Amino acid sequence: MRMTRPINIAVLISGSGTNLQAIIDAIGRGDLDAVISLVVSSNQTAGGIKRAERADIPCLILEPADYDDPEAVDTRLVEAFRESGVDYVVMAGYMRKVTPVLLDAFPDRVINLHPALLPRHPGAHGIQDAYDAHDAETGITIHFANAEYDKGPIIYQQVVEIRPDETVDELEARIHEAEHAAYPKVLQMIAEGRVQVDKDAGCCLVDGKEVHSLVHN
């Protein structure tokens, strides 16, 4: 069922925040029925912090030492998200594994973006791993996070061809272009109530259809 108000999201970042910017821009254009109530950065020098500041979005910046106790970090985040009325937690280049503390507080409401076609090439180096494997194609995966790293029900996948003789940097740029286009669209699908999780089947339903690997070329 579509929500009668914009979905309230928190966006988690660790780096330049280009996917955060894509989400901010989509909201500004009216393409995404959402409001960002909080940005969380795991990196004090992340470029995404400036993007949040320019958009007048509150930003919670964590110290590296905070992550000595990941569950304490996630407890702090849960409290902040609840205070802000967050509906969904959106990971956009967040280079920290979330714990059951956060996942249990927001079941099937923590969304992750991965730069490869899961289950192939999980982990922090998905683009480089696909390039080094000489795959003909790679892509992006948007999924609900669960306790298993880079697993959880897939909402959306998109193929990105690996072109002959291109550099890994060129491939990475095209992966990011696909991410910037797809992430706001998937969040809008969620805002429209088009995405559910079938717990028995262990997969997503998009527009009522079971999704195990929904690939868009």
- Whether residue 174 contacts residue 164, with contact meaning beta carbons closer than 8 Å, is answered with no
Task: Give CA–CA dist 171/148, Å, rounded.
Answer: 27
Catalytic, out of 114, 121, 143, 176? 114
- Whether residue 162 contacts residue 131, with contact meaning beta carbons closer than 8 Å, is answered with yes
DSSP secondary structure, 114-162, as one string: ESS-TTSS-STTHHHHHHHTT-SEEEEEEEE--SSTT-S-EEEEEEEE-
- CB neighbours of 36 closer than 8 A, spacing ≥ 6? 9, 10, 11, 23, 24, 27, 52, 55, 57
Task: Give CA–CA dist 191/129, Å, rounded.
Answer: 33
Task: Give CA–CA dist 104/16, Å, rounded.
Answer: 28
- Residue whose pair of structure tokens reads 């559910």 in the numeric block: 196
Residue type, 123: G
Residue 114 among the catalytic residues: yes
Task: Give CA–CA dist 138/48, Å, rounded.
Answer: 26
Residues labelled as active-site residues: 114
